Chain A
Amino acid sequence: MTSTSAPAAAAAKDGALKKKTLTRKERRIDKPVAWLGASLCAVCSIALWSLSRTRFDLPSLGRAPGGGTPVGYALGALTVFLYAVAGAYAWRHRRRVQELAMTRTWMEVHLAFGLLSGLTAVLHSGPKLGAPAHGAFLGAWLLLIGTGVVGKVISVVVPRRLTRIEDEALLVEDVVDRQKAMRTQVEELLQDADEASLKIANDVVPRKIASPDWYGARRMRHADAADAVYQAIGGDALLSPERRDWLKRVVACLVEEAFLSRMLTYHYLLRAWVPVHVALTFLCLPWLVFHVLAVFLL
């Protein structure tokens, strides 16, 4: 017989479910803290750069603040550090373990300090393009940050648009499957159709299908949108009563297909910018090494 010091039920870990479950809307502090930190850093960088321009470097060295001045070196070092901080997100994102902080916190740090690295890079440069190699590097750096900004905009705008046109939440593979099925269904419906019906299906109906976003903005479900299209083409007057059901099905399929196409576009859009951003990030690493070596050794 086993004997323990406390009943099994009472010995269980205390309140694990409650700790992991929200009972009210969460107030995130990581987001403002990350952006506040980046803002402070930005203010300090700008202040340093301004002092360099008005007090330290320009008056004494006769050179505008840039890579060759103490402040310029400091800003360059800061930019390298920020590159490392922002780039660490990729490592954290892939690790998927419960250590350090939540990935969303890393994401905020990545966004805030990544954006800041653009500012520090510009301040570090003077701002001026300088030698062609350095100017190109600055361009690539800003392009990297630009793709990040575009990615953020896409990540904010596209999910809202996507979810508005989804009747139900679908994975991208489900959308592809459904689209295939829908196209097959349309082909079957049009197989034995006469000339007039084909013309309606190919010309009249598609012209009356508005953008899925338009329906989404009006909170119209796919079936409602199909009804609206059927009304818009005057479906009842176009074909004989016994063909109306056929036409309704064709309209429903074409409307659904339009929705699925747009959903697929959005799904691809959500992913499309990532490889560009990642590729530029990796491209910037050897370029950064070259830049540092070029400044100090060449």
Chain B
Amino acid sequence: MTDLADEWTALLKAIPFLSSLPEQTLKERLILGKIPQAEQPASLVEVDDGDFAIREGEFGDTFYVCVQGAFAVEIWNDAGVPVEVARIGRGAYFGELAMIGRGTRTASVRAIGAGCQVLEMYRGPFDRVLKDDKAGGVKKALEAAYERRTLERFVQRNAYLEGMREVDRKLIVDTGKLVRLEAFQDVYKAGEAPKSFYFVRQGFLKVWRTEGEVQSVLAYLRDNDFFGDLELVEGRPRSSTVTAMEPVEIVEVPRSVFAGIYQRHPDTIKKFRRYELDRQAEMGHLASPTGMMFVKDLIESGMGQARSALIIQMDACTRCGNCVQACSDLHDGYSRLIRRGKKLTRREERGALEHLFFPNSCVHCRTPDCMTGCPVGSIARDKDGEVFIKDFCVGCGACAKGCEFGNISMIVIGDKKAAKPQRKASKCDICKGYEQANCVFNCPTGAIIRVDPNEYFEELHRTPSAKPSPPVDLVAMAAGSEKRP
């Protein structure tokens, strides 16, 4: 047992971002340390030949170190075929990006041959080690590693940078910066001198300017979108302000690097131009006041980062309260759904208005803030992105404070009359283990549904193009020989 712990400690010590920690700390905190859950901080996991340790696109709050055997790192190409990009063995580590960034796995790792083993590490003890690291060495190293890997992956996968020379891609990785912004923080303001070009790695941003006293929204940007190129090319001050609508991550490319790419890859810039025209056309589609208001309200209320939002269609809801009763019946008398929230109006395709109500119920964010503060790691997310609370919750309330929507409440369990009643966090986990959310299942009119706003609402789905259009010859367009889209 001790030999095994020593062996694993040596493996952890060899990881660059953990190398600054003493071996004793690694051993005591990450391997042998006690955590409230049934699992220990680290566990040895056997992966059968051909099985996946992690899969691309899944969520996960664990990271892994290879102990034995060989593993293939695969990513899906545009044709939907997994392509092996690397082969790793003992000592290699993976999965830390999704664990730290609360995003999805960016690659799959598959076992090759028999006897493959990985060390599985949980987020909770890892967070505590980070918290206690007063010098911040681990955190800095980890953030640097995270930033580097994230930039590499982003540049590798961004459709706009396809066809670019490897040296230029590397230049973006080397000089680019991964910037995290909180909701309603500006990236830049109108009138400022342009300094950089930006890609959106994750999240919603709003491009807007004031015309007179009216705020005019020019575009909503989301994952893999870009902005800030026009002023750089034309050498004029920013004509609009770009504001984060939720916690976002953007990739900042310095002006000098962008200028070099502009000279060496005019086709890439053409793609940007063409895309901007597409974007304007799409905004035109939303130009009706109701359409714009709906997108604005939806994104400003944070629903852009929702993966599964509860919606009550008010025109069909008879206010019978059966949804709340059903929730309460299933969860020991505590309803995880509160019929208070935001009401939005949306124009349907056929032109009719529909009134949608977003009650207080977990929306299973893409980047859940509730997961960051848990001291015992009892709030977790399964690979599909469903955030749930494990039984060993200690009732500290950190997750409830962290949830910006106020969708986590603290409930009393056990003896309610005790001097110090035991508390536990409670939130909607879409009735984990059941076929359907009980509120949805038991609505007599079908007025209550769970939707992925980014997919379900065409307005959000259409605002930014998922894929860029084919490049367009701007010179020919200017000369009139190519039709303007």
Chain A residues packing against B (C-beta within 8 Å): 1-10, 12-18, 20-26, 28, 93, 96-98, 102-104, 106-107, 155, 158-160, 162-164, 166-169, 171-172, 174, 219, 267, 270
Contact = CB atoms under 8 A, between A and B. Distances in A.
A158 B319 CA distance: 10
Contacts of B443: 102-104
A23 B444 contact: no
A169 B64 contact: no
A16 B437 contact: no
B446 interface: yes
Given A24-B456, A107-B445, A171 B339 contact: yes
Given A1-B4, A1-B40, A96-B325, A102 B436 contact: yes
B46 A5 contact: yes
A164 B343 CA distance: 11
Contacts of B449: 22, 26
Contacts of A162: 314, 319
B437 A20 contact: yes
B62 A9 contact: yes
In which size bucket is the chain B interface?
Answer: 35 or more
Contacts of B355: 163-164
Contact of B40 (A2, A5, A93, A174): A2
Given A6-B47, A93-B444, A168 B54 contact: no
A18 B355 CA distance: 24
Given A17-B386, A103-B444, A169-B339, A9 B456 contact: no
B382 A16 contact: yes
A5 B114 CA distance: 12
Nearest to B430: A20
Contact of B47 (A7, A24, A159): A7
Centre residue among A155, A174, A219 by max chain B CB count within 10 A: A155
B317 interface: yes
Given A16-B430, A16-B432, A6 B51 contact: yes
Given A9-B383, A16-B432, 10 more contacts: A2-B43, A7-B118, A15-B384, A22-B449, A22-B450, A96-B325, A104-B446, A159-B319, A219-B353, A267-B319
A219 B352 CA distance: 13
A172 B441 contact: no
A65 B482 CA distance: 79
B444 A104 contact: yes
A268 to B, nearest CB: 11
Contacts of A93: 322, 442, 444
Interface in B36-86: 39-40, 42-48, 51-55, 58, 60, 62, 64
Contacts of A219: 353
Contact of B64 (A7, A16, A159, A160): A7
Contacts of A158: 318
Nearest to A18: B384
B157 to A, nearest CB: 21
Given A9-B54, A169-B314, A169-B339, A21 B441 contact: no
B113 interface: no
A16 B315 contact: no
Contacts, number: 174
Contacts of A28: 446
A276 to B, nearest CB: 16
B329 interface: yes
A96 B442 contact: yes
Interface of B: 1, 4, 39-40, 42-48, 51-55, 58, 60, 62, 64, 118, 120, 307-308, 312, 314-320, 322, 325-326, 329-330, 339-343, 353, 355, 357, 364, 382-386, 430-438, 440-446, 449-452, 455-456
Contacts of A15: 384
A22 B456 contact: yes
A21 B46 contact: no
B108 to A, nearest CB: 10
A103 B383 contact: no
A267 B353 CA distance: 21
Contacts of B62: 7-9
B141 to A, nearest CB: 24
Given A16-B382, A22-B452, A159-B319, A1 B43 contact: yes
Contact of A21 (B343, B446, B452): B452
A96 B326 contact: yes
B350 to A, nearest CB: 11
A159 B436 CA distance: 25
A2 B39 CA distance: 7
Contacts of B64: 7
15 contacts: A2-B39, A7-B54, A9-B54, A9-B382, A10-B51, A10-B55, A10-B58, A16-B382, A16-B432, A23-B455, A25-B456, A98-B438, A102-B442, A159-B314, A159-B315
Given A7-B47, A102-B436, A159 B317 contact: yes
Nearest to A89: B444
Given A6-B45, A7-B45, A21 B40 contact: no
Nearest to A160: B315
A12 B54 CA distance: 11
Contacts of A23: 451-452, 455-456
Contact of B1 (A1, A24, A160): A1
A3 B46 CA distance: 7
Contact of B58 (A9, A26, A169): A9
Contacts of B432: 13, 16
A20 B308 contact: yes
A110 to B, nearest CB: 9
Contacts of A26: 449
Contacts of A5: 46, 48
A98 B52 contact: no
B39 A8 contact: yes
B20 to A, nearest CB: 26
Contacts of B436: 20, 98, 102
Centre residue among A9, A97, A103, A166 by max chain B CB count within 10 A: A9
Contacts of B456: 22-25
Contacts of A169: 312, 314, 339, 341, 343, 357
B319 A17 contact: no
B438 A96 contact: yes
